[in-house]
Amino acid sequence: MNDNTTNADPTQPLAADLKNLALLVYILQGLGFVTGGLTWVAGVMINYIKLDSIKGTWVESHFRWQLNTFWYGLLWWVVGLVLWLLLLGWLVWGLLSLWALYRVIKGALTLNDHKPIIF
């Protein structure tokens, strides 16, 4: 009798663990809207620390999505900060908040469906 669970590589995380990591990052990103962004930094740290663990899995697309959301969001946050001098920063930050909220929700829903995210 061949039991595939005994042949599993113990150094490889289970698919459920990988999904939970991505879910944790989505939660941290969502909390960032009420914590002033500090949890976004924790989320991106998780992404980079665990990036090698998720290579080649369907969860990798979620990590890439999360990293892109963080870095592009940070870029536009800085642009908005500079544009406060021209009284346009509120507009940039408002649009950025909607964009980031959309990406967090879309990513979490796609993750819940056990699907890779399509860019």
The pLDDT of residue 55 is: 92
The mean pLDDT value of the chain amounts to: 88
The pLDDT of residue 118 is: 86
Per-residue confidence at 111, pLDDT binned at 50, 70, 90? very high
Q: Are 87 and 39 in contact (CB under 8 A)?
A: no
Q: Which residues contact 101 (CB under 8 A, 6 or more apart)?
A: 33
d(CA 80, CA 40): 18
CB neighbours of residue 21 within 10 Å: 20
Domain spans in the chain, listed from the N-terminal domain onward: 14-112
Give the tens place of pLDDT for each residue, 32-77.
Answer: 999 988 999 999 999 999 999 999 999 999 999 999 999 999 999 9
d(CA 102, CA 57): 24
Residue 3 predicted with pLDDT over 90: no
20: Cα separation from own chain's centroid: 12
The pLDDT of residue 1 is: 40
Residue 106 predicted with pLDDT over 80: yes
Residue 6 predicted with pLDDT over 50: no
